[in-house]
């Protein structure tokens, strides 16, 4: 999936993937991360998700990364925050009280950019990436965050029935990508009555991943 694809979707406001409501799985399972106030939560490929509003309202410090600068400008407008904008090589940082979003390619992000991370909330990342690069992405995030605990949301359906996002990420793939670094706990697997883009059966799966001892 080329960067231009996502940039063009934001530019043309073709953002059906953006949900104007807090993800119910985040609301239901966030406490499973057992995070104290002011913990640093990393939201990869964040767009302008309103889940960031939720995390800020829980007194978390949010760190994100997003390809589209337009999305992040819209995010800060919707948050009613005026960011400080600074360039850092290939990346641009948008910072305000309690939040720092890095704009650019996630693979250009380094641990020095990111700083210490207490947990990861990943709703729109794996499902936005084609199979060929999901493992590379996951290993990069593990390295960046020193395998911080993660609340991961994926979807599962018969990928042969349609192309494009959100991609199906079956349990076997999640295990294959993460089992070397994490203990995995499937918190829920909820069937979607309307399927995904008309494909049924389909389910939303929520994983809690804690670093292996």
Helices (H), 58-99: 69-79
Determine the angle formed by the axes of helices 3-11 and 69-79, rounding to 10 degrees. 40
Structure confidence by residue, pLDDT tens digits, 117-164: 999 999 989 999 999 999 999 999 999 999 999 999 999 999 999 988
Confidence of residue 175 (pLDDT cuts 50, 70, 90): very high
- Per-residue pLDDT reduced to its tens digit, 119-130: 999 998 999 999
Residue 97 or residue 4, greater confidence: 97
DSSP H helices in the chain: 3-11, 24-29, 51-57, 69-79, 111-114, 131-145, 171-178
- State the CATH architecture for 3-211: 3-Layer(aba) Sandwich (3.40)
Q: How many whole angstroms separate alpha carbon 177 and alpha carbon 180?
A: 8
pTM (predicted TM-score): 0.94
Report, as an integer, the average pLDDT of 113-119.
97
Rounded distance between C-alpha atoms, residue 22 and residue 35, angstroms: 19
Binding-site entries: 10, 45, 66, 123
Q: CA 206, CA 190: separation in Å to the nearest integer?
A: 9
Binding residues for S-adenosyl-L-methionine: 10, 45, 66, 123
What are the structural domain ranges in the chain? 3-211
Residues 155 and 203 sit within 8 Å (Cβ to Cβ): yes
Answer yes or no: is pLDDT of 1 > 60.
no
CA-based R_g, the chain, Å? 16
Sheet containing 40-44, strands listed edge to edge, beginning at the edge strand earlier in sequence: 84-88, 91-96, 99-103, 61-66, 40-44, 119-122, 150-157, 202-211, 182-191
Q: What is the pLDDT of residue 140?
A: 98
């Amino acid at each position: 999936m080329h960067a231009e694809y996502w940039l063009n979707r934001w530019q043309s406001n073709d953002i059906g993937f953006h949900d104007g409501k807090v993800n119910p799985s985040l609301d239901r399972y966030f406490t499973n991360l057992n995070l104290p106030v002011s913990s640093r939560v990393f939201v990869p490929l964040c767009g302008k998700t309103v889940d960031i509003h939720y995390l800020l309202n829980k007194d978390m410090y949010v760190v994100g990364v997003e390809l589209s600068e337009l999305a992040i400008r819209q995010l800060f407008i919707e948050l009613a925050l005026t960011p400080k904008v600074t360039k850092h090589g290939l990346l641009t940082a948008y910072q305000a009280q309690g939040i720092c979003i890095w704009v650019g390619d996630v693979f250009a992000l380094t641990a020095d950019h990111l700083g210490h991370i207490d947990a990861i909330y990943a709703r729109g990342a794996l499902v936005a990436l084609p199979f060929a690069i999901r493992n590379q992405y996951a290993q990069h995030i593990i390295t960046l965050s020193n395998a911080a605990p993660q609340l991961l949301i994926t979807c599962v359906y018969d990928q042969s029935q349609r192309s494009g996002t959100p991609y199906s990420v079956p349990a076997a793939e999640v295990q294959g990508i993460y089992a070397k670094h994490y203990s995995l706990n499937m918190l829920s697997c909820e069937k979607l009555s309307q399927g995904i883009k008309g494909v049924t059966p389909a389910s939303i799966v929520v994983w809690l991943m804690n670093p292996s001892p």
